[in-house]
Chains A and B, each alone.
Chain A
Amino acid sequence: MKTTIPILWMMSRPAPGNKAVVALPATAFALVTALLLIVLAGALSFFTHPAPADGFGTAGAYQNLALVALALLILPLLTLGGSAARLSARRRDERLSTLRLLGATPALVGFMAVVEATAVAVLGIAAGIVLYAAALPAVALIHFQGHALGLAGLWLDPLVVLATAAALIVLAAISAAVGMRQVALTPLGVRTRQKAPTVHWVRAALGAGAAVVLYLGMANITASGSIAAVVVILLAAFAGGLALLNLMGPYVLKWFAGRQVRRAATAVRLLAARTILESPKAAWRQVSGLAMTSFIAVVAGTGLAVLNGAGAGIGTAEANLYNDMRTGVMITVVASFLLVACSAGVNQAAAILDRRELYISLDRMGMPRTVMDAARKRAIMSPVRIVTVGSAVLSGVLLFPLTGLAMIFSPLSLLVIAGILAGGIGLIWLGLAASAPVLGRVLAGGSTAAD
């Protein structure tokens, strides 16, 4: 493939009006990199600067919790990295299909798209490292173990930074390759492959069965009432609940959307509901990270509220641990919302570009831009609301004995959880709003209006 490099060079010169499409994935990668490095730095600081040894094994607890937080963030981080890579792989729509028209093989064109997407990721990752360094002084102020983290413990070994960056670059390349497999590169254009939506009621039945078993188990263990039991309940509810959500999520969205399609009285509602119904699984994928986050917020928040309320006469180290767990949960939840919001923006940008011609034709027919914008926002925000409320209620029910206790012992902490969830929904809305200029640009490119 001697021709690859010159063609790549020729085709990768910046196209006018395509800035947002480079900026979005690059920003996403910058954010992913910075967050990952910060969380990594925080987690590792518990190993390099462990809490003083005491009878409770506090140091070990911190290290384990730091690892759990890291593990919880990895999934949304990878999802966002994948979406970003897919977006930049698809942004070349016209150029890629032109290449196909000129006779380039799908393999060559796909390869070029992956190279480009990776290059955009490298830009973002470099910016992310700078962002990490810039954010550290603020991160250093966060209190753990009764005092501020401090800058010294947060500087990562340059080798760790490089290894993280390398891992992210590989991730970008792999996600771009996977993303390209989901689109058909034809001479007539780059299109998302249409797959028939397959969401079966068996999912719902399985999910409901699992919920009953889980609930009975919870009720039995709670009856015994020890602290160990509380921990077991939390872990079981967490794992079980997540599995349950993933099993039922698409079905629940499909059911809600079906109802909304029948009831929709306005163009916006009809369009939004049909968009969800078109592929409940895709709609679910966009919000599943959110389900997990709401779940963490409610389960961990409830657990901490109960432990806090119950632990009146405990030592400082233990009191610190509970406080720190709360701080940790908040950081994890906020970071996770940030990632979900970014994914929403990036996915929407890709969706708009995928349907560029349709949007242009609707604009020509006189469909107001406000209707297009409202419909695509609603198609995300409606599942977001269903998922947030649904997973909060589900975890509340699974943990009913504990939520009941928490309501009595520390209603304030439940309010804080509710506030965080509401803030998270707001963040996602902002992520969607950030993709609006992409629609504006697509329409401006389509109509040749001089104004």
Chain B
Amino acid sequence: MTSVILGARSLSKRYGAGIALDNVDLDIQAGESVAVMGASGSGKTTLLHTLAGITIPDAGTVSYSGTDITALNETQRSKLRRESFGFVFQQGLLIPELTAIENVALALMLNGVLRRDAEAQSAGWLAHLGLSGMEGRRIGELSGGQAQRVAIARAQVTGARIVFADEPTGALDSHTSADVMTALLEATAGRGHTLVLVTHDSTVASRCSRTLYMHDGVLSPALPARPGAAPAGESAGGSNYLAGPR
């Protein structure tokens, strides 16, 4: 059974003379975990931001559950991101003066949940991610891996159906990176939610259900699966599909 949760059509975005997105088409199924790989500057972050309604493309549409989010105004997109999407960034980017649990609870409080309920749900998520006993710690008192788990809790505590992660393991050593990936996949795809992840690391990408490649703004589907990589479920029928491996 497939149901497309996020669909992009003919996305283009240029910055000055440079092309960040070149006629990109992409369908993402609910429950998928999609990794986007590619060289630095190839347009991965731009793609992620466009899919998430942070960046508006020069041309093309992004539809989420039937709504064209490129047609929404800033306030509407902000509300959509806060209520339906979750985000994990490379550097955690948690609020340093809040405690771990407050950082997670804030995401719920912004959606109108009462503080007591928000903290109760957040405590559950922190415990689930192996952070019990650290609820009251400030962000500076957490390790990089722990901070990323707090960020994962923050991204999923609202029940967001899609989590966007931009190099979430980029600042971690390989061992911690594997742990954080396990936590991220369990928290998202493991619960039927969708993960869209940008990474440089093929080991990280190999744990996702599908890998896509960006090259100068052009998106192409998986290269031949390497050992250990989950086979790609669907092919991203793209108008810019550059046939075959390089």
Contacts and interface: CB of A to CB of B under 8 A. Distances in A.
Interface in B60-114: 73-75, 77-83, 85, 87, 89, 91, 93, 95-98, 102, 106-107, 109-110, 114
Which secondary structure dominates where chain A touches chain B? helix
A61 B234 CA distance: 90
A364 B87 contact: yes
Contacts of A277: 97
Contacts of B13: 448
Interface in A427-451: 447-451
Interface string A346-375: 000000000001100111111110010000
Given A270-B102, A367-B82, A449-B74, A361 B46 contact: no
B115 interface: yes
A286 interface: no
A274 B99 CA distance: 9
Contact of B78 (A194, A358, A368): A368
B46 A448 contact: yes
A366 B81 contact: yes
Contacts of B75: 368
B54 interface: yes
B54 A267 contact: no
Nearest to B82: A366
Of the four ranges (under 10, 10 to 19, 20 to 34, 35 or more), the interface on chain B belongs to: 35 or more
Contacts of A394: none
Contacts of B107: 365
Contacts of A365: 81-82, 87, 107
B58 interface: yes
Nearest to B46: A448
B110 A366 contact: yes
Nearest to A379: B97
Interface in A255-285: 264-267, 270-271, 274-275, 277-278
Contacts of A278: 96-97
Given A265-B114, A265-B115, A358-B95, A366 B78 contact: yes
A449 B102 CA distance: 29
Contact of B49 (A264, A362, A448): A448
Interface in A398-450: 447-450
A274 B115 CA distance: 15
Contacts of B109: 266-267, 270
Contacts of B23: none
A271 B73 CA distance: 26
A367 B110 contact: yes
B205 interface: no
A277 B95 CA distance: 13
Contacts of B82: 365-368
Contacts of B46: 448
A362 B82 CA distance: 10
Nearest to B73: A451
Contacts of A448: 13, 15, 46, 49, 54-56
A364 B107 CA distance: 12
B140 interface: yes
Nearest to A361: B93
A205 B79 CA distance: 48
B32 to A, nearest CB: 22
Given A364-B87, A365-B87, A367-B110, A274 B93 contact: no
Contacts of A363: 78
Nearest to A261: B102
10 contacts: A266-B115, A267-B109, A274-B98, A358-B93, A358-B95, A364-B87, A368-B82, A448-B46, A448-B54, A448-B55
Interface of A: 194, 264-267, 270-271, 274-275, 277-278, 357-358, 361-368, 371, 447-451
A-B pairs, top 4 by smallest CB distance, nearest first, are: A366-B82, A366-B81, A361-B93, A278-B97
